[in-house]
Amino acid sequence: MEYTVQKLATLAGVSSRTLRYYDEIGILKPARINSSGYRIYGQDEVDRLQQILFYRELGLDLDSIKKMVTAPYFDGAQALKEHREKLLEKRQQLDALIANVEKTIATKEGRITMSDQEKFEGFKKKLVEDNEHKYGEEIRQKYGDDQVDQSNAKMMNMSQEDYEKVTKLANQVNETLAEAFKTGDPAGELAQKAADLHKQWLTFYWKEYSKEAHAGLGQMYVDDERFTAYYDKEQPGTAEFLRDAILIYTGMKK
């Protein structure tokens, strides 16, 4: 029995375009081409197509499928295991996503006090904090602590009350820092107050506080342009000023 594209497509439950595409990418070529240029498929091609569709249903990409059905000694089981790993990872991400979406819905519906403005002010800070987490890798290596890991978990469990506290604290840091910057003296009263507020803010995210880590973070504000850009937003030089204030506050410099 021989088939034209449409016949085979109908038999297998795919579109004729799909078969042409499979021909194009060389995953399933017709047995022969007749005098009018029509694709003619035979039994072998039917069988091969079943294999292809089977693997496709498992979510494998066509490139992998090609290897599986083409290379005679290809390790299919291995490929499937790798595929499974990818799927499992996907599911993890999906689960995390769903949890986040649900949290956001709850926030949108339940909490009355947070205006959009406030909320996104919070998120903006969260982004910077995320950067800190990302770059916290360095801190972790320097101080051998797991406080960076902890900060994530801690933030996730923050109550609405805590959230407001930390937001307020962050604002105070910024305000005090802006005032202090005008004095130009990182050892001055205002600057030291800013450093203290910064420490308080930090303790919301870090499980344990250490002077070394605090000072390290201050240095990072200067070294990493992401932080620099954030702190220098209003007044260029603020990041450096904050670092100096922290160095003095922690007693690492006087």
Partner DNA sequence: TGTTGACCTTGACGCTGCGTTAAGGTGTAT
Partner DNA sequence: ATACACCTTAACGCAGCGTCAAGGTCAACA
Which position among 15, 34, 63, 120 is part of the footprint of a second copy (CB under 8 A)? 120
Which position among 17, 90, 111, 168 is part of the footprint of a second copy (CB under 8 A)? 90
Q: How far apart are CA 177 and CA 244, in angstroms?
A: 12
End-to-end CA distance of the chain: 91
Q: How far apart are CA 217 and CA 252, in angstroms?
A: 13
What phi and psi values does residue 41 have, to the nearest 5 degrees? -105, 150
CA 245 to chain CA centroid, nearest Å? 32
Q: What angle do CA 242, 243, 247 make, to 5 degrees?
A: 115
Q: Could you say which of DNA, a second copy, none residue 156 binds, taking C-beta under 5 to 8 angstroms by partner kind?
A: none
Residue 5, interface with DNA (CB under 7 A)?
Answer: yes
Nearer to DNA by Cβ, of 63 and 189: the residue is 63
The torsion of the CA quartet 251, 253, 182, 231, rounded to 10 degrees, works out to -80
Residue 71, interface with a second copy (CB under 8 A)?
Answer: no
Q: Do residues 176 and 193 lie in contact, with contact meaning Cβ atoms separated by under 8 Å? A: yes
Which residue stretch of 19-27, 128-136, 194-202, 244-252 sits at the interface with a second copy (rule: CB under 8 A)? Answer: 128-136
Which residue stretch of 36-44, 101-109, 155-163, 231-239 sits at the interface with DNA (rule: CB under 7 A)? Answer: 36-44
Total chain residues near a second copy (CB under 8 A) = 53
Which position among 6, 92, 100, 183 is part of the footprint of DNA (CB under 7 A)? 6
Query: Rg (Cα) of the chain, in Å, rounded?
Result: 30
Site for a second copy in 153-212 (CB under 8 A): none
Which position among 32, 54, 58, 63 is part of the footprint of DNA (CB under 7 A)? 63
Nearer to DNA by Cβ, of 57 and 161: the residue is 57
Residue 35, interface with DNA (CB under 7 A)?
Answer: yes
Q: How far apart are CA 83 and CA 207, in angstroms?
A: 38
Q: Per-residue x/- mask for a second copy, residues 32 to 61, rule CB under 8 A?
A: -----------x--xx--xx-xx--xxx--
Residue 83, interface with DNA (CB under 7 A)?
Answer: no
DSSP 161-187: HHHHHHHHHHHHHHHHHHHHHHHT-TT
Summarize as ranges the residues that interact with DNA (CB under 7 A): 4-7, 14-18, 20-21, 34-39, 56, 61-63
